[in-house]
Amino acid sequence: MAVLDDIGPLKDAALAAVAAADTLDALEAVRVTHTGRKSALAEILSGIGRLSPAERGPVGKTANEARKAVEAALADRHAALEAEAMGAALARDDTDVTLPGDPHPLGSLHPITQVRLEIEDIFLAMGYRIADGPEVEDEYHNFTALNVAEGHPARSSSDTFYVADRPGVALRPQTSPVQVRAMEAGPPPLYVISPGAVYRRDDVDATHSPMFHQLEGLAVDEGLSLAHLKGTLVHVAEELLGKGVEYVLRPHFFPFTEPSVELYVRWTDKHGRSQWLELLGSGMVDPNVFAHVGYDAEKYTGFAFGMGLDRIAMVRHGLPDLRLLFEGDIRFLEQFS
């Protein structure tokens, strides 16, 4: 009865291995070795059918008992090791879950960011996309391609921050150069907006800062007219300030548009004070600008506009000083969450 005699030692070896396993991983390895499909015990059990009829009964009974004993020992050891691991983890973990938590302030979007996102949404809903451009810009995109004449005051270093030792390279004084880059990047039709920081040397008073934010817009297509520009601007003003907002378009001059208009809106602040606010500059894109980017001015027309985001945030919240927006004082900023 050679097979029957094997079972006892196999069982003893398995039980000894179970007892010796001191981690859950080690125990799993013992389980595979001693009761897994390729274990000696499993082979005996699956070979029972090939034994002589006399052997089958005793071998089957003994092997099954051995398997049950090993499985029971495995289960006990598993429970014991798990309890041990849990006990150790609890001993290591000295967190007192009854203590009050550490405050974790969430923060909020900066008021200028809030205005920017709101205006972006108005344009995205009309099918515009957002274009980006560099803040350190060359002379061609800042001025020349925008039809800004040589000798125009904006080109002078008393108005614009130039980069030392890089002739013509300056911090962009407006977001308008992104128009040029958007047109260079592809043919019409084009409906883009471009928000971003701009830089000017005019921090003369509390309503100016050497860095502020604009949102530029450009539409180029066949058949666009001043009526489309007006419709677009009035729609934006109404989305931003409410239906029925009082507005007026006034002729103006910008080098890159002809004709050019400024949009003024009547703004009533939360104290009931009412004033006319210059919301943006705009106009029909000058054919000279199209010539610089290779657009056919006989076939296409376009309109452009640029508005100051900081100004809108300032008026909306009745801020007395633009510089508050850039100081990063938490006591100020948390009022806009």
User: Where do contacts with ligand DAH occur on this chain (CB under 6 A)?
Assistant: 174, 176, 216, 254, 256-257, 281-283, 304-306
Residues 6 or more apart whose Cβ sits within 8 Å of residue 209: 203, 310, 322, 323, 325, 326
Of residues 40 and 293, the one with the C-beta less far from ligand DAH: 293
Of residues 13 and 211, the one with the C-beta less far from ligand DAH: 211
CB of 332 to ligand DAH, least distance (A): 26
CB of 251 to ligand DAH, least distance (A): 12
Question: Judging by beta carbons within 10 Å of its beta carbon (0-12, 13-18, 19+), is residue 171 exposed, middle or buried?
Answer: buried
Residues 6 or more apart whose Cβ sits within 8 Å of residue 334: 108
Q: Are strands 129-130 and 190-199 parallel, antiparallel or unpaired?
A: parallel
Beta carbons of 336 and 108 less than 8 angstroms apart: yes
CB of 325 to ligand DAH, least distance (A): 18
Of residues 156 and 268, the one with the C-beta less far from ligand DAH: 156
Of residues 247 and 256, the one with the C-beta less far from ligand DAH: 256
Of residues 156 and 337, the one with the C-beta less far from ligand DAH: 156
CB of 97 to ligand DAH, least distance (A): 57
Cα distances (angstroms) measured from residue 54 to each of 44, 48, 49, 58, 173: 15, 11, 11, 8, 102
CB of 166 to ligand DAH, least distance (A): 22
Beta bridge partners of 220: 190, 302
Of residues 10 and 237, the one with the C-beta less far from ligand DAH: 237
CB of 292 to ligand DAH, least distance (A): 15
Two tokens, residue 336: 């806009």
Of residues 73 and 307, the one with the C-beta less far from ligand DAH: 307
- 326, 330, 335, 336 alpha-carbon torsion, rounded to 10°: 50
Two tokens, residue 110: 């900066």
Distance between CA atoms of 237 and 176, rounded to whole angstroms? 20
Residues 6 or more apart whose Cβ sits within 8 Å of residue 220: 183, 188, 189, 190, 285, 290, 295, 300, 301, 302
CB of 145 to ligand DAH, least distance (A): 13
